[in-house]
Amino acid sequence: MKAVVVHGAGDLRIDHLPDPEPGPGEVLVAMEWGGICGSDLAYWRHGRSGTAILRHPMVLGHEVAGRVVRPGPGVEGYEPGLPVTVHPALTVGDAALPDRIAGRTNLHPHVRYFGSAAFDPHTDGGFSELRAVPARQLRPLPEGVGTREGALAEPLAVALHAVRRAGDLRGRRVLVNGAGPIGSLVVAAAGLAGAAGVTAADIADSSLAVARALGADDLRNTAAGDALPDDVEVVFEASGAPGALGPVLRATARGGTLVQVGNLPGAPAPAALGDLVSREITWIGSYRFVEEITDALGALRGGLDLSPLVTHVFDLDDAAEALAVAADRSTGSSKVLLRLGTERDAYSSK
């Protein structure tokens, strides 16, 4: 089979790997679609993502969907052809979480994630024609939700988790700073949560256009001189740019809530944080998700249209070009998808 493998910083290859066989508790899946995420770009550009350092070649990709080829020993309920998406997180060990974070498995100290170099050996992702996946990580797609949409369930779950961290949004206006793929999905998630309106801010008109299509009713291009709104009760910071924190904190109302969705650098970086104290702002982190992928599939089944998010589609063989487009904001890209296979693959006898 073919797979998108990162060998080091700037070294991306389409490798031919042995076809996997599903072991006990696993299901062989023919992958059809994959979405490129910021961590995929980080491994490709820098050989690391946050504190996870690439030490060996690794298959990229954690936003994936496909169809069952066949279940492995001991697995029932996964018939050939069943469309599925993947919850990319798998906790390691049976250590109980402290009471204060009971049930928040995204905060488990040891999590293997699709396409992650956090452990050695690394955990291969799903940018491949075939993948043996533990059955407990699979989520069947609802009727009417195709595998292309199913590949968007994982990033939508990230956005839904961030909105849930903010509390009740019904009737409240919110600000989303950073209208990349996750920020635009936060716009959509805030609308689903009953927000009275959403202001989206970014430095690119193309990103703001996607945010508008997903429900933003007020757009601010900060690169063009637009100011952020004042006294916003709930703010989502989705850019991950330390330089944005000062203006975003100033835009947050006194006693308001700021949810940090964008990944901040793991190294020291200058940021103006004075308003955090003087305005008594509650600053909340939001990391991946727990089981919001189920809510994401429910939203897609209910008719949530995420098609404006997808700006580019490439075949697996063109993955290098796809990552380059996703990394270059001048291309107008938002979510870039890889076509990993076709429906026909799911019924092969491999």
pLDDT band for position 172 (50/70/90)? very high
What pLDDT does 345 receive?
Answer: 43
**CATH numbers and ranges of domains, the chain:** 2-152+306-347 (3.90.180.10), 159-285 (3.40.50.720)
For 67-77, write each residue's pLDDT tens digit.
Answer: 999 999 999 99
Residues 246 and 177 sit within 8 Å (Cβ to Cβ)? no
Q: How far apart are the first and last CA of the chain?
A: 10
Model pTM greater than 0.75? yes
pLDDT, average across residues 135-153: 98
pLDDT, average across residues 257-277: 94
- Nearest C-alpha neighbor of 193 from the set 221, 215, 219: 215
pLDDT, average across residues 79-88: 98
Listing DSSP states for 5-37 in one string gives EEEETTEEEEEE-PPP---TTEEEEEEEEEE--
Overall size of the chain counted in residues: 350
Distance CA 141, CA 346 (A): 15
For 279-325, write each residue's pLDDT tens digit.
Answer: 999 999 999 999 999 999 999 999 999 999 999 999 999 999 999 99
Residue 239 has pLDDT above 90, yes or no: yes
What pLDDT does 350 receive?
Answer: 32
Distance CA 198, CA 175 (A): 6
What pLDDT does 21 receive?
Answer: 98
Within the chain, residue ranges assigned H as helices are 38-46, 147-150, 153-166, 181-192, 205-213, 245-251, 274-278, 292-301, 319-327
**In whole numbers, what is the pLDDT of the chain averaged over residues?**
96
Phi, psi of 134 (to 5 degrees): -55, 135
Read off the tokens for 7.
């060998």
